[in-house]
């Protein structure tokens, strides 16, 4: 099957799932590991190895996170980590950047997970899927859909309760997060909060309808 070319400068919804919906994030440490992995591998050829990215106090080294003299492969616009899958919105910054980034990040987490759980074999279902985001309105609605994944799956009642998405970065303008979106989206935190949370029940109903159709 021919793989579509991913265009540098464009934004994509990048989605991948574990094999047979295997639970790949079981606790906070595993979610945190994947979040740190995504942040680390968005940089092309980091100067510090991933295993050496923390100092003796356990803090992530600033030179890994904020290198300004190196090229980034992708810009993470939005993300959500779920027990069996991940949602990312990525802007490709260099040619083949998304493919390199995803390959490095997914392989790194697979090695970590398999070692931790004394497991062998692939962790992810297949090559990630990507869908081109064609305009600003689509992008805004996509971020809402992604941030509503946890309450839609009844993992939490409100997306603000889910620690493993970029939702709180959007509400707080957190500069210490892993996302950068101010160049592609204009977010008013109060307005965005209402935009997202007013659709919690509606998105849950849509998910139920989808399940009935697929049965």
- Predicted pLDDT of residue 214: 52
- Predicted pLDDT of residue 188: 94
- Predicted pLDDT of residue 50: 62
With a cut of 90, say whether residue 95 has pLDDT above it.
yes
The two three-digit tokens of residue 58, written as one number: 């356990």
Place of tokens 């600033």: 62
Q: Report yes or no on 4 lying in a domain.
A: no
Q: In what order do the strands lie in the sheet with 11-17?
A: 74-81, 85-92, 11-17, 129-132
Query: Tell me: the pLDDT tens digits for 153-211?
Result: 999 999 999 999 999 999 997 666 899 999 999 999 999 999 999 999 999 998 888 76
Q: Report yes or no on 120 lying in a domain.
A: yes
Pairwise pLDDT comparison (50 vs 94), residue with the higher score: 94
- Rounded to an integer, what distance in angstroms lies between the CA atom of residue 22 and that of residue 166? 23
Q: Report yes or no on 82 lying in a domain.
A: yes
Place of tokens 């949602």: 87
Q: How many domains does the chain have?
A: 1
Q: Report yes or no on 191 lying in a domain.
A: yes
Q: Report yes or no on 1 lying in a domain.
A: no
- Predicted pLDDT of residue 1: 45
Q: Domain span at residue 39? A: 11-214
Q: What contacts 61, CB < 8 A, 6 or more positions away?
A: 48, 53, 54, 55
The two three-digit tokens of residue 60, written as one number: 């992530």
CA nearest to 79, candidates 171, 153, 133, 147: 147
Q: pTM for the complete prediction? A: 0.87
Residue 88: phi and psi, rounded to 5, are -135, 145
- Sequential DSSP letters for 120-168: -S--BSSSPEEEE--SHHHHHHHHHHHHTHHHHTTS-SSGGG-SSBSHH
Give, in order, the Cα–Cα distances in Å from 204 to each of 38, 54, 140: 28, 39, 19
Pairwise pLDDT comparison (47 vs 39), residue with the higher score: 39
Residue 4 contacts residue 17 (beta carbons within 8 Å): no
- Predicted pLDDT of residue 210: 77
Of all residues in the chain, the percent with pLDDT exceeding 90 is: 73
Q: What contacts 132, CB < 8 A, 6 or more positions away?
A: 7, 10, 11, 12
Q: Report yes or no on 76 lying in a domain.
A: yes
- Rounded to an integer, what distance in angstroms lies between the CA atom of residue 116 and that of residue 130? 29
> What CATH number is associated with residue 123?
3.30.70.1290
Instruction: Give me the chain's average pLDDT, please.
Output: 88
Q: Report yes or no on 5 lying in a domain.
A: no
- Predicted pLDDT of residue 24: 96
> Across residues 113-140, what is the average pLDDT?
94
Q: Report yes or no on 79 lying in a domain.
A: yes
- Predicted pLDDT of residue 137: 95
Q: How confident is the model at residue 117 (pLDDT cuts 50, 70, 90)?
A: very high
């Amino acid at each position: 099957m021919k793989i579509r070319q991913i265009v540098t400068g464009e934004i994509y919804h990048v989605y991948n799932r574990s094999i047979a919906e295997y639970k790949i994030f079981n606790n906070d440490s595993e979610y945190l590991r994947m979040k740190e992995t995504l942040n680390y591998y968005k940089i092309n050829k980091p100067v510090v190895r991933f295993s050496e990215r923390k100092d003796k106090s356990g803090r992530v080294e600033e030179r890994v996170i904020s290198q300004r003299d190196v090229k980034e492969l992708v810009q993470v616009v939005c993300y959500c980590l779920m027990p069996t899958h991940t949602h990312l919105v990525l802007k490709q910054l260099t040619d083949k950047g998304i493919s390199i980034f995803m390959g490095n990040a997914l392989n790194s987490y697979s090695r970590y997970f398999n070692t931790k759980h004394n497991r062998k074999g692939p962790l992810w279902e297949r090559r990630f899927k990507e869908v081109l985001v064609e305009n600003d309105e689509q992008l805004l609605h996509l971020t809402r859909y992604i941030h509503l994944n946890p309450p839609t799956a009844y993992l939490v009642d409100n997306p603000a309760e889910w620690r493993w998405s970029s939702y709180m970065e959007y509400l707080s303008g957190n500069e210490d997060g892993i996302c950068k979106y101010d160049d592609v989206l204009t977010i008013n935190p109060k307005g965005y909060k209402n935009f997202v949370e007013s659709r919690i029940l509606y998105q849950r109903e849509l998910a139920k309808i989808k399940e009935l159709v697929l049965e």
